[in-house]
Amino acid sequence: MIKKLKNLKLVSGDSTYSQLFRTYVVGVFNLVFGLGITYLFQFYIFFTIQVPLRTYLTNIFAFSIGVIISYFLSRKIIFKLSIYDGGFNEFIKFLITNLINLVVPLFIWFLIDLIKPSIQNNEIQFLIATILIHGFILPIKYMFYKLFVFKDSLNN
């Protein structure tokens, strides 16, 4: 079954659609991993810190851990590049691009705090809002990855 999945053009191809599909696969993994880290920070590690500072710190720490893992997964799975190549400049471009994942959610959480701050204290509502926020950001990040971050590696 796994071998059949790997042979599908959508999974193994080099087209933009295949890469975008793999972006969502990596995005789902990153989201689940990130939600786990976010949940731990928001409700266990930073639980003594008042909202909204707790939510801001949670997003910053989850972002920092997630961006490193995401870089290697993006190189290997989305664009089929070696995880050992790329270099520091490419990682910096990746980091800058992923600031979208830090700044946009922080801004949205700021707005949520103004409108309905109770969402940040409810575990289920918090997770649903986080999923929705990051799901809308993913296609934008893919375009930045392809046209800016991994452009040189893809052209070699």
Q: What does the pLDDT look like over 117-142, one tens digit per residue? A: 899 888 899 889 888 888 788 888 88
Distance CA 18, CA 35 (A): 25
Q: How does residue 2 score in pLDDT terms, banded at 50, 70 and 90?
A: low
Residue type, 47: F
Could you state, in order of their start, the residue ranges of all structural domains in the chain? 17-155
Is the per-residue pLDDT at 57 higher than 90? yes
Task: Check: CB of residue 97 under 8 Å from CB of residue 23.
Answer: no
Task: Pick the more confident residue, 20 or 4.
Answer: 20
Question: Burial letters for 130-151: b for 16+ Cβ neighbours within 10 Å, e otherwise?
Answer: beebbeebbeebbebbbeebbe
The whole-number average pLDDT for the span 73-88 is 91
Residue 92 is predicted with a pLDDT of 94
Is the per-residue pLDDT at 69 higher than 80? yes
